[in-house]
Amino acid sequence: VFPPCASDYYQFDDLLTPEEQALRVKVREVMEKEIAPIMTEYWEKAEFPFHVIPKLSALRVAGGTIKGYGCPGFSITGSAIATAELARVDASCSTFILVHSSLAMLTIGLCGSEEQKQKYLPSLAQLRTVACWGLTEPGYGSDASSLTTTATKVAGGWIIEGQKRWIGNSTFADVLVIFARNITTNQINGYIVKKDAPGLSATKIENKIGLRIVQNGDILLKKVFVPDEDRLPGVNSFQDTNKVLAVSRVMVAWQPIGIAMGVYDMCHRYLKERKQFGAPLAAFQINQVKLVQMLGNVQAMLLVGWRLCKLYEKGVMTPGHASLGKAWITLKARETVSLGRELLGGNGILADFLIAKAFCDLEPIYTYEGTHDINYLITGREITGIASFKPPA
């Protein structure tokens, strides 16, 4: 596992604390030795390998930056580097953890009551229970702030009525964080819905070409009752949802970094091993140029991702910073993985060689947590002061 891989060219470890370095080694070791050998098979079958949950639980990464409640309380840089190391081996695995941890757990951590944190976070941190996070609806993706799932006050709680789409982990999650429009205030509120709530159902979305291991579902909420104690007191408008998204976008930005690192490492090995015209593929100038282009991208992506974390730690990171980071890094990863796919020739389209899987897995990442263009528009609004989401009247 260590000494460093080829993708660690600019000695990125120097920028990490000893604790962050140790976390990186731990995650990389478990992912390479125990998780990598089985993921292609599950990716092909589009099934979730439930038997890896104890291995992921032992890594103690769920809960990331949350302090207390059995959560690891990592620095955001530590949590980010763990995300990259998960994604370096398998992007689905990192998405499973991100939805659970950086979306659902973080929402409870940032917006939940003391009782909710004590009740839900410890078992989620150990992955004894799994969570999902439902914002998107069939009719409202980029325009999520217009969502139409409703929350109506009744004696002792709320009735939630509506649909959600694309929700990762939702087919088996024990805890569902659901956003709905309060029909009295017309504002977005957040609720914790339990798996066995009458009226709740989730159906797996089939035939995805990327992140095939992640179980994305369509959720139907038919008059689901949520008791008062499970309304998240800190979600009172869409802005509160955005606070969570700004942090989780930093984490999502580290998925493409990890994917690109894994792909570069794989290509670097492959080009030296495979021969054509009597010479290793690495001996041809054009292949070297592509390889170095990939390497340059990876080094730049690492530094942008690291800087985002430092801005967050200084308390000065803005939504625009996070959006630009997520969108630009994912764009560069797409270019990197595409070059890698070319360099492997025919093997570049076989899931067995990592790159084809990585190539497909990047597509949903390019789109989720705000599409590439929507994230650029968030940054565009911040730097110009002009929102351009709606066509001129």
* 222 close to 187: Cβ distance less than 8 angstroms: no
CB of 124 to ligand FAD, least distance (A): 15
Q: How far apart are alpha carbons 308 and 291 in whole angstroms?
A: 26
Structure tokens belonging to residue 189: 């509120």
Site map for ligand FAD, 361-390, x if CB under 6 A?
Answer: ---x--xxxxx-xx--x-----------x-
- The interface region with ligand FAD, picked from 119-127, 165-173, 230-238, 342-350 by CB under 6 A, is 165-173
Report the residue from 21, 57, 126, 142 that binds ligand FAD according to the rule CB under 6 A: 142
- 5 — phi, psi (to 5°)? -80, 170
End-to-end CA distance of the chain: 57
CB of 277 to ligand FAD, least distance (A): 41
Between residue 222 and residue 251, which ones bind ligand FAD under the rule CB under 6 A? none
- Three-state DSSP class for 182? strand
Nearest residue to ligand FAD, scored by beta-carbon proximity: 141
Find the Cα–Cα–Cα–Cα dihedral 227, 228, 230, 233, rounded to 10°.
160
Between residue 101 and residue 140, which ones bind ligand FAD under the rule CB under 6 A? 133-136
- Three-state DSSP class for 338? helix
146 binds ligand FAD (CB under 6 A): no
Whole-Å CA distances, 36 to 192, 299, 353: 33, 24, 11
> Residue 113's closest CA among 275, 227, 196?
227
Report the residue from 70, 122, 141, 280 that binds ligand FAD according to the rule CB under 6 A: 141
Residues in Cβ contact with 300 at an 8 Å cutoff, skipping those fewer than 6 apart: 332
Site map for ligand FAD, 308-347, x if CB under 6 A?
Answer: ----------------------------------------
- Of the pair 290, 334, the CB lying nearest ligand FAD is at 334
Site map for ligand FAD, 71-100, x if CB under 6 A?
Answer: ----------------------------x-
Regarding beta strands 150-154 and 175-182, do their DSSP bridges make them parallel or antiparallel, or are they unpaired?
Answer: parallel
Footprint of ligand FAD (CB under 6 A):
99, 133-136, 141-142, 166-168, 211, 216, 364, 367-371, 373-374, 377, 389
